[in-house]
Structure 1
Amino acid sequence: MQSWFSNETELLTWGGPGLKFDVSSDEFAQQIKLSELASYVLCEGDEVLAFGQFYVRLGRHHFGRLAVSPKHRGKRLAYQLLSLLAQQATNVQTANGYSLFVLSDNKPAIQTYQNCGFEFAAYPQEKPGGLTDCLYMTAETLHIPTR
């Protein structure tokens, strides 16, 4: 998954502030809190197709660090990933509704999230880590498109 990002800007855009680009795979895992946050992958054999994490933020199941492998984008894997994350989140933590941050210029992701029922919402606090160019989206329930 680390190879999906070709420079520090891409890495920070995906993973948030504080990540370093040229680190070992163990350091990368520590940076993204792989062992601390609920983290899931979609795989085909040994190949990772998509990745996402979740935790509770402001009483909602919050999805973070969502990514689809560059060579597998456009195959509707984001919908499968969101469905998996929602199912797992509701099984292991108590929260109401869903939330996520998305960069304002990431039109494909915004469209995907809107297709699942997410809507733009005002973030009720100062955005964490200087996420000024991120939009906050919420959904009370998810509606994963089947086609």
Structure 2
Amino acid sequence: MSMLQEFKEFAIKGNVVDLAVGVIIGGAFGKIVDSVVGDLIMPLVGAVVGKLDFSNLFLVLGSVPPGTGTTLDALKKAGVPVFAYGSFITVAVNFAILAFIIFLMIKQINRLKKEAPAPVAEPAPVVTPEDVLLLREIRDSLKK
């Protein structure tokens, strides 16, 4: 079998197609979560903590050339090394929210997948020697 044929069989397998669809949907879902976090949740968290914008929290690790702005973007454009811990906080919050949303989705899917338990089959009756004797007595009494 040629390598091209093997690749074709691999690429058309359902698992590969499912994975591709999952990656595409995951990317779109990630943008939705980024918007929810950046536009809805982080402003609320910032308001509670003192109107902080976590994405602009940083420490300058090098010398700043004269005339360079003091914003994170300006420092990065100037090539100044910065420790952007605010960006990390934002990404960590994004991850926590995304993980929680996926947890809720999986929990709901599992709940919907649960089927009614199969009815339990009744155990076969156990016939003891005493039962056999009793049945014989009944049979014999009916014959009389």
- Give TM-score, length-normalised by structure 2: 0.21
Q: Which is greater in Rg?
A: 2
The structure with more strand, counted as a fraction of residues: 1
- Give TM-score, length-normalised by structure 1: 0.21
